[in-house]
Amino acid sequence: MTVTMNFIKKKEPRKILILRFGAIGDIVHSSALFRSLKKFNPDFEIHYATFKIPSALLSNDPDIKKVWIFENKSYKCLLNLAKKLRKEKFDLFINLQPSIKTKVFELFLNSGKTLTYKKTFKLHAVENFWITAKKEFKNIILDESLKIYIPDEVINKVSNFINSEKKTIVFNLGASNIRQGRKWPVEYWKQLAKSVIDKYNVDIILNGSEEDAEISEKLLDISSNIRSYCGKLSILESSGLISLCSLIISGDTGPLHIATALEVPAIGLYGAAPISRTGPYGKLNFDLCSDRKCVPCNRRKCNISNKDDIYNPCMTDIKPKEVIDIVDDIFFT
């Protein structure tokens, strides 16, 4: 008697939904994940669900089929979008924002399979997001070069904001208020601005949100070489402007990571956040931090700051001279 064994080949996911609400740096870091998936299988159809502001960084990406937008994180919003996306019949859902709310979203989405991100401080965020897909695709290779795409019309618009005959440095003044230990003292920015202008006659562009506009005013009197666009540009316009500059200096916040994806050299100023996890990613980038034993604590609030302190000790420890030394040795030799 002959026995025939029929093996059913495992179906490979073809239509994939990735979810990450934000912030901007997280979206940039997750780009290596979907870039790696497309290189692994160019036939994959990848969709991405996120908030409106960071969605602009994905809207022109050739590796993303469609971007879906959450208006907010309310259950009503999540369930409405999940019901809509259910009709798309995704083969795989990659949840990069695990929570009770996104678990409910997952149930209503009813995709073929779900991969859930697990945060670890043993890996950089880029690798941490990417390894989530490794559970399903054993042979996937990390695409180590971050990249974002900016429309030509945006580049053409912001190119009028800079002098192409001079080097331009971006000072990204802002940082999230949710976590302390990310903002550098305005007096340090002023000292740094004076030094680089006196030594190199560079232009400086001040970047940030509307909240940073008041701080930027304190630097404008230093020199006519300084211009502020704080609160005046969209995220794509800000990204386009950064792409045309020679260097960005910034705390651990979105524009710093945007610069790394645009291959613009970056100097990251780090306080409470662990550089090993969220440091500027890539070969053209540098970072500075305090040598205090408590660094990095990764706390939302500093344990040793006084109540009325504007800046954390770990950020005030980073002196302008340290930044200048990097500028001297690396970018303008």
What the chain holds in terms of domains, given with CATH numbers, is 15-134 (3.40.50.2000), 153-331 (3.40.50.2000)
Note the pTM of the prediction, 2 decimals. Answer: 0.92
pLDDT for the residue numbered 67: 98
pLDDT for the residue numbered 178: 65
Residue 270, class by beta-carbon neighbours within 10 Å (0-12 exposed, 13-18 middle, 19+ buried)?
buried
Task: Write down the residue that tokens 């609030």 correspond to.
Answer: 301
User: Which is nearest to 255 in space by CA: 228, 273, 280?
Assistant: 280
pLDDT for the residue numbered 7: 45
pLDDT for the residue numbered 5: 47
Half-sphere exposure of 259 (CA within 13 A, CB side): 31
Strand 226-228's sheet: what is its strand order? Answer: 226-228, 203-207, 168-172, 247-251, 266-270, 285-289
Cα separation, 266 vs 248, whole angstroms: 5
Higher-scoring residue by pLDDT: 252, 1: 252
pLDDT for the residue numbered 10: 60
Q: Mean pLDDT throughout 161-179? A: 86
pLDDT tens-place string over residues 269-320 = 999 999 999 999 988 899 999 999 999 998 888 888 887 788 899 999 999 9
- C-beta separation of 96 from 30 below 8 A: yes
Q: Mean pLDDT throughout 36-60? A: 97
